[in-house]
Amino acid sequence: MSLHPYSQILQNWYHIYKRDLPWRDVSDPYLIWISEIILQQTRVAQGMDYYLRFVTRFPNVLSLAKAEEQEVLKYWQGLGYYSRARNLHKAARQIAENYGGQFPHVHTDILKLSGIGIYTAAAIASFAYGQPYAVVDGNVYRVLSRVFGIDSPIDSPRGQKEFAALAAELLDSENAGTHNQAIMEFGALQCVPVNPDCGICPLKDNCVALKTASVDKLPVKERKTKIKARYFNYLFIKHENQTYLQKRESQDIWKNLYEFPLIESDRLFTVDQLIEQDEFKTLFPDTTALKISSIYYDFKHILTHRHIFARFFMIETDKTNSHYKKFGKTLIDNMDHLPISRLTELFLEKIFTR
């Protein structure tokens, strides 16, 4: 019943400048869901190919529910935040089980699904069903904090409540989907994080931040990610053109992805240090059957909150033994179907393309 003037401006802008994206102007909640999960903390340019390949292989809820998690992770390989893929798969099975494979229409039901939080539930409900829920993502925080000059930290519960209330107040309830798309697209294209072109902004006469020269100070974030270093000593064991792999199963980075046997420590080892490690001795009690190359491959893998220093040792052995049989044995050429981290992928690319 009430259309806020700012929403009108944003929607007018949107109709002119919106990008043509494959998940836009579709009403299938499944497709919208997949796109929303892929785009969490991920740029459109990075997620585009993943989206197209994913929905080609898994075109609907049931095809995803029927798949093995391993294959779903393989389709996610390289995209990061793999809990998204695990939860996506889990939620597909929840939908198959609890809703007969039909994506739920009720907001509270959508919110219960694994991997769907406040933002994604609002996005699906408004895009697919036109329900009046306001989205608040990184774009919305930026637009609202600047236009209204709000310096409450966006990563504090207090700030999040404040922005959520404001977003709900501005929402065009009759056109919730378009309104939500408009404000996010506006944040992504016009009200960008660094050096926005405020001279051509349709809200330049209404923007508090522009008026007070604080565009570059908003939004406010109070937490800074602390970067920690980790040291991975990988064992690339070769035995008759086969190697050994393990699945990372603990609550840690790359959960349920495969990798070479690993000794994590507070440093990278030399070959001499490596063979003195208890874990290594347990694996190879008899070092006479081993050929450990003095050449190894070092990588510095940079993540948002981690610097991972990785060293891959090349170990050749003539005979197998019972100690490292606990690892899955696989033909090196057959690793292709297993989901692996970007780091392991880069190592494999390096040794097979030289």
Partner DNA sequence: AAGTCGGGGAA
Partner DNA sequence: TTCCCAGACTT
Task: Decide if residue 183 touches DNA (CB under 7 A).
Answer: no
> Residue 117: enclosing H or E segment and its boundaries?
none
Task: Decide if residue 147 touches DNA (CB under 7 A).
Answer: no
Applying CB under 7 A, which part among 50-58, 136-144, 263-271, 317-325 lies near DNA? 136-144
Minimum gap (Å) between residue 27 Cβ and DNA: 14
Task: Decide if residue 65 touches DNA (CB under 7 A).
Answer: no
Q: Which of residues 204-223 bind DNA (CB under 7 A)?
A: 221-223
Applying CB under 7 A, which part among 8-16, 64-72, 224-232, 273-281 lies near DNA? 224-232
Selection from 320, 321, 308 nearest residue 248 by Cα: 308
Residue 20, class by beta-carbon neighbours within 10 Å (0-12 exposed, 13-18 middle, 19+ buried)? Answer: exposed
Is there a contact between 323 and 290 (Cβ–Cβ < 8 Å)? no
Q: Which of 8, 27, 41, 273 binds DNA (CB under 7 A)?
A: 41
Indicate the residue type of 158. Answer: R
Query: Of 86 and 324, which has the nearer Cβ to DNA?
Result: 86
Q: What is the DSSP string of 43-111?
A: -HHHHHHHHHHHHHH--SHHHHHHS-HHHHHHHHTTS--THHHHHHHHHHHHHHHHSTTPPP-SHHHHH
> Residue 119: enclosing H or E segment and its boundaries?
helix 118-129
Q: Which of 251, 294, 322, 353 binds DNA (CB under 7 A)?
A: 251
Applying CB under 7 A, which part among 19-27, 93-101, 271-279, 329-337 lies near DNA? 19-27
Is there a contact between 263 and 269 (Cβ–Cβ < 8 Å)? yes
Task: Decide if residue 319 touches DNA (CB under 7 A).
Answer: no
Task: Decide if residue 42 touches DNA (CB under 7 A).
Answer: yes
Applying CB under 7 A, which part among 37-45, 63-71, 167-175, 279-287 lies near DNA? 37-45
Task: Decide if residue 162 touches DNA (CB under 7 A).
Answer: no
Task: Decide if residue 350 touches DNA (CB under 7 A).
Answer: no
Q: Is 69 a catalytic residue?
A: no
Q: Which of 3, 28, 46, 60 binds DNA (CB under 7 A)?
A: 46
Task: Decide if residue 259 touches DNA (CB under 7 A).
Answer: no
Is there a contact between 181 and 21 (Cβ–Cβ < 8 Å)? no
Tokens of 142: 């930026």
Pairing of strands 228-238, 306-317: parallel
End-to-end CA distance of the chain: 66
Selection from 316, 325, 250 nearest residue 287 by Cα: 316
Residues taking part in catalysis: 36
List of residues contacting DNA (CB under 7 A): 21, 23-24, 35-36, 39-46, 78-83, 87, 114-121, 123, 137-139, 141-142, 156-158, 181, 184-185, 187-188, 193-195, 221-226, 228, 251-255, 301-306, 341-343
